[in-house]
Structure 1
Amino acid sequence: MRELVFALEYEPGCNRVADTLAEHPDARIRSLSLHATPERLWRVDHATGTPEALDAIEDAFLNSDYYADCLATGDCGATQTTRVLDHTDDTLVLYSDWERTPDCASVPHIARDHLGDGVLFETRHEGRHYTWRVIHSGEGDVAAFFADLEAAVGDCARTEMLRTAETSASTGDAAGRSDDLSPEQEAALQAAVEHGYYESPREVDVGELADHLGVPRSTLTYRLRRAEEQLAKRHVADSQLGAEPSTPL
């Protein structure tokens, strides 16, 4: 089995959920389950954030013109139902059921076309970045998958490859080693160190660093956060592996 991790970075006005999360940068949405057949898609999502952010996220899911996961650039005529399973001050759980039409496209359905039926999905949405983790057999055509994905999103989003690897490695090893960082993440970290972003006090802020690299501020923030997350997980995993076993009393 292989793991494929990539992100879609949505342009403003192309995805209402992305626009909402961009307005509430501390909010996050992750999938609890996601399943797709040739004709349907259903999923459960867990959102966290301030009460104001969760209200806005709920409204974006319930009142958008078309289903958020559809990559069509307009109303494709699909039938969707979204229900609120739980809504507290800091948690929102949503169930969505989407019946597609021939005009619809989505990441899971494009993946099924090129990577086979036995594909697993995990997602995380923060700001304008929609990160997908796809587990597949490794026998499909990944290049064709990305070609169709980029054609479907068009000018609405940019695709960024984050990682592709075998899934046989342990979680602590595979998720956190620096050589698993994408080239963009490596470049962001290197520039951040070289320009004093991690000095105290900082010699450059994230906006200045983004201008130097020629990328949007939100993109650089996302790349640094993901790289830092992977390095932190590697450090903790390595520390646990190297720890001496406790002596029984």
Structure 2
Amino acid sequence: MTGTINNEGTIENVTFIGAELTGGTLSGNIINASQVSGIIKDVYLIAGTVLQSGKVAGTITGDPTDKPVITGVTIMPGTILTNVHLSPTVTISENVVLGEGVTIATEPYTPADFGLDDEDIASLTSEWFSEIEPEALATFNSKHVSSVPAEAFSSISTKQMSQIRGLEGLTKEQFAQIPIKSFHGLTSENMGDLPVEVIQEFTPEHIEILNEPEFEAMESEDISKLFVNLDFADINLITHLVPKDWKLNVTTGELTAPFGS
């Protein structure tokens, strides 16, 4: 949806790329992806609506029975908010009025703080997954990850991969859908969480794309876990990942951690 829109009805599940969307009711998943600093203003959000990204202004009112979630949004000066839930990625400008029923996410954050409930996660599509904020994926646990439809992972980005948690729940079917380039996003914080059955599915292309400094920064037990479970006949494929002070016998495949690690 583009242009300057004066809404007098209900707009549902739309990506807005225009200059201004004013008035009316919004429902479902509303994404402000405008590249011209487009603003959504003076709208009513029905129960369960998620308003993501971009800027909002004017009067934004939500249904108190199931507060809409505002996430990844910049709330412009002078905006008046009522009955909405603000995620951790919201930027609140000066002179914003937090009216009745406004709640702000507090740690520990959950997917619900970003507008994702268990049913949403279990019904994600690749298009929807691509729009999820990386910060939201950082709130996932293994049950969340395992419930994501495998095909949804086909759109995961490198940045999303760097933040996602709960990879203990990743299945071989989900792994097969992930673009190889996205594995470069794995970090020392989540790489070691991959289950053994997934590590055994790695190909030389997966190994080549891994971020070496992040690999080397992992805990010793995680490094050992990956090396032990990689299924390669040619040990030379992984020698470039051996951290400093570790020793790899390329003949036997024996890996020795530094003393005290």
Q: TM-score range by the shorter chain?
A: under 0.3
**Normalising to structure 2: TM-score of the pair?**
0.25
Higher strand share: 1
What is the TM-score of this pair, normalised by structure 1?
A: 0.26
More helix by share: 1
Which has the greater radius of gyration?
Answer: 2
Of structures 1 and 2, the one with the larger relative CO (CA 8 A, separation 6+) is 1
